[in-house]
Amino acid sequence: MQDASSTEAGTTMDTDSNFATSAGKQLGLYALYALFGLSVLIYVLSVAAGSSGGSVSGGAINIERNSITIVLTEEPPQLDSTRSTDAVSFIVLAHAMEGLIAYDDNDQLTPGVAERWEIRDDGATFWIREGAKWSDGQPVTAYDFEFAWRRVLDPATASEYSFILYPIKNAELVNRGDLPKEMIGVRALSDRVLEVEFERSTPYFDKLVAFNTYYPLREDFFESTNGRYGADADMLLSNGPYVVTEWIHGSSMLWKKNPYYWNDQKGFLDEIVTAYITHDVNAKLNLFKDGQIVETSLIAPMLPTAMEQRWQIDRFMDGSLFFLEFNHRENRITGNWNFRRALQLAQDPSELVYKVLKEASYLPAQSLFPVWIQGIKEAFRKEYPAPEHKIDVERAREHLELARQELGLEEFPPIILLSGDSPLSLLAGEYYQELYKQNLGLELRIDAQIFKQRLAKMTSGEFDIVMAGWGPDYFDALTFGDLFASWNLNNRGHYRSEEMDRLVSIGRSELDPEKRMDAFGDIQQLIHEDVVIIPMYERGISFVVDPRLKGFKRRSVGPDVDYSYAFIDTTED
């Protein structure tokens, strides 16, 4: 008896192999028709595709055109320096614009549009250089800075980085709408002199001024864009080494050397092509392997490939710190010091970094202040060593028991660990979940949320612990130091301490560098003793660059990626 499954067609088809053959032939014929039709279709579509804009790339390095091709991880929402908040905009604007002060290729502050300046107790003065010009040939004047800064602080602009201009007199009040724009403590005394008045003494003002939000903006150009400033390539005026000449949204950008840029020690490449926009690390790696882009970052699983390909792997600290932030509000278990101390003693960041995250460029964190922060004369962490920490599970359990008694609990309820949706944060979350279960018998629940919802929960305090991170805005210890002052809106855990507030005030306005740094040293100690946070790791990035490109910089502060000093080395062996 035949197998039932082959009986149906079997009787008519298998026995009639003639049928199969001729059906097969017919199918073959159709396949040929289909192929032909497909080719026609593809041709038609490609014409349509070509007209809808595409990437124009000459490969990673094009020696004749003196151009390179790079990839951006996201499309910048807009290129208005007075309103940008994201890393990609910062990168583009760092090449297209220049502030009063800039960073040189040694990460030191160097004169930008301002050829010299003076910082005093009550204010600062900047002298604009003569050669500074916009990309349409007009000179850059002090009025351009006055206009830009007023626009940042104008409440109607709703600039999210306006806080970085608050050291300027009346800035905060104007930004709140309590005073008119003209009352801001910045005035252009002439085309070449800019005068700034401080709200309180700000010794680190020169470091602030290099930041994106302080870039200049020319009033007549701005008015001519009719509310669309920064929305397209022709809606932007540049005073930096490069001009954005083409911007096909979502697809590509073209930066060309700014012929009017004053500094011949910057901007050696004629053209920088952004031919691809994607944040998929694998896609970027493949593009690099294929010789289409000049640089890419590597994550841990890619390192063996990189070593196999004999690439030169480099790394840099991207400046940010990641930590477990506690909810210090009244009704929370994490508001109890003993509880936090238990959690602190039961963990060791080096196990997280070395065994779990496995990123070669990450550094286990020991303090609120990352290693690259400058102190009085040397690295801050050298002058003020981080507090000692050693994992001690027995003592942790003792503190946990004390906490339990103080809180009057029979046993601990589940603790909510709020996390982002990135793979690394989920990985760290799972690690902590198991760690605290093993060491302390606590049940941690991971609350994975997408970005906006995580922020909403942080702001409203719906969490016990959150895995948070902070990136620096300027090259001074205060960018981390003031995080947990009670007036800081970013202090979403609501940590309140008079001592902290006192120390931050010193850090903000103390003129004596030693006293200032001492205050930061004390803050470092306080963070550890009061267990305000548990530092996890300082983030770094491993990356590879095409060996023919030299002078490429990646920074901890300022633009993440900097090609303004880059040039193609044609002397190849």
* Residues numbered 440-469 forming contacts with another protein, rule: CB under 8 A: 444-453, 455-456, 459, 462-463
Q: Which is nearer to another protein, 42 or 407 (CB)?
A: 42
Residue 72 tokens read as 């951006």
Cβ–Cβ contacts within 10 Å for residue 433, how many? 17
Supply the DSSP string of 172-211, one letter for each residue: HHHHHTSS-GGGSSEEESSSSEEEEEBSS--TTHHHHTTS
> How far is residue 382 from each of residues 369, 372, 375, 433, measured CA to CA in Å?
11, 10, 8, 33
What x-and-dash track marks residues 181-220 binding another protein by CB under 8 A? ----------------------------------------
Q: Which is nearer to another protein, 155 or 513 (CB)?
A: 155
> How far is residue 369 from each of residues 156, 322, 527, measured CA to CA in Å?
35, 11, 10
Query: Binding residue for another protein (CB under 8 A) from 71, 184, 209, 500?
Result: 71
- Contact stretch for another protein (CB under 8 A) within 60-68, 181-189, 296-304, 507-515: 296-304
Query: Binding residue for another protein (CB under 8 A) from 394, 423, 498, 572?
Result: 423
| Closest approach of another protein to the CB of residue 416, in Å | 5
| Closest approach of another protein to the CB of residue 229, in Å | 8
For another protein, how many residues bind (rule: CB under 8 A)? Answer: 139
Contacts 24+ apart (CB under 8 A), 288-294: 288/60, 288/544, 288/546, 291/59, 291/60, 292/57, 292/59, 292/60, 292/69, 293/60, 293/69, 293/70, 293/71, 294/60, 294/61, 294/68, 294/69, 294/70, 294/545, 294/546, 294/549, 294/552
| Closest approach of another protein to the CB of residue 473, in Å | 9
34 is a contact residue toward another protein (CB under 8 A): yes
Residue 19 tokens read as 């049928």
Query: Binding residue for another protein (CB under 8 A) from 70, 277, 324, 549?
Result: 277
Amino acid present at 125: T
Instruction: Name the helix (H) or strand (E) containing 29.
Output: helix 17-51
393 is a contact residue toward another protein (CB under 8 A): no
Q: Do 463 and 418 contact (CB within 8 A), yes or no?
A: yes
What x-and-dash track marks residues 96-135 binding another protein by CB under 8 A? ----------x-----------------------------
Query: Binding residue for another protein (CB under 8 A) from 228, 377, 496, 502?
Result: 228
Query: Binding residue for another protein (CB under 8 A) from 126, 205, 276, 552?
Result: 276
Q: Do 342 and 400 contact (CB within 8 A), yes or no?
A: yes
- Among residue numbers 241 through 260, which ones bind another protein (CB under 8 A)? 248-251
Query: Binding residue for another protein (CB under 8 A) from 109, 179, 300, 526?
Result: 300
234 is a contact residue toward another protein (CB under 8 A): no
476 vs 207: CA distance, rounded Å: 7
Q: Which is nearer to another protein, 192 or 539 (CB)?
A: 539
41 is a contact residue toward another protein (CB under 8 A): yes
Query: Binding residue for another protein (CB under 8 A) from 310, 408, 411, 571?
Result: 310
18 is a contact residue toward another protein (CB under 8 A): yes
| Closest approach of another protein to the CB of residue 127, in Å | 29
| Closest approach of another protein to the CB of residue 392, in Å | 12
43 is a contact residue toward another protein (CB under 8 A): yes
| Closest approach of another protein to the CB of residue 177, in Å | 5
Q: Do 66 and 213 contact (CB within 8 A), yes or no?
A: no
Instruction: Name the helix (H) or strand (E) containing 126.
Output: strand 123-128
| Closest approach of another protein to the CB of residue 480, in Å | 14
Q: Which is nearer to another protein, 292 or 334 (CB)?
A: 292
Q: Which is nearer to another protein, 393 or 506 (CB)?
A: 393
Query: Binding residue for another protein (CB under 8 A) from 129, 181, 257, 315?
Result: 315
| Closest approach of another protein to the CB of residue 21, in Å | 8
| Closest approach of another protein to the CB of residue 573, in Å | 10
162 is a contact residue toward another protein (CB under 8 A): yes
- Burial annotation 312-348 (CB, 10 A radius, 16+ → b, else e): ebebbbbbbbbbbbbbbeeebbbbbbbbbbbbbbbbe
492 is a contact residue toward another protein (CB under 8 A): yes
133 vs 238: CA distance, rounded Å: 9
R_g over Cα of the chain: 29
8 is a contact residue toward another protein (CB under 8 A): yes
Query: Binding residue for another protein (CB under 8 A) from 239, 297, 366, 542?
Result: 542
Amino acid present at 520: F
Q: Output phi, psi for 288, to 5 deg.
A: -65, -45
405 is a contact residue toward another protein (CB under 8 A): no
Overall size of the chain counted in residues: 573
Q: Which is nearer to another protein, 10 or 441 (CB)?
A: 10
Residue 191: is it exposed, middle or buried by C-beta count within 10 angstroms (0-12/13-18/19+)? middle
Query: Binding residue for another protein (CB under 8 A) from 15, 118, 259, 283?
Result: 283
451 vs 204: CA distance, rounded Å: 32
Instruction: Name the helix (H) or strand (E) containing 246.
Output: strand 242-248
Q: Which is nearer to another protein, 25 or 200 (CB)?
A: 25
User: Which of 66, 41, 192 is closest to 129 using CA atoms?
Assistant: 192
- Helices assigned H by DSSP within 52-153: 87-96, 142-153
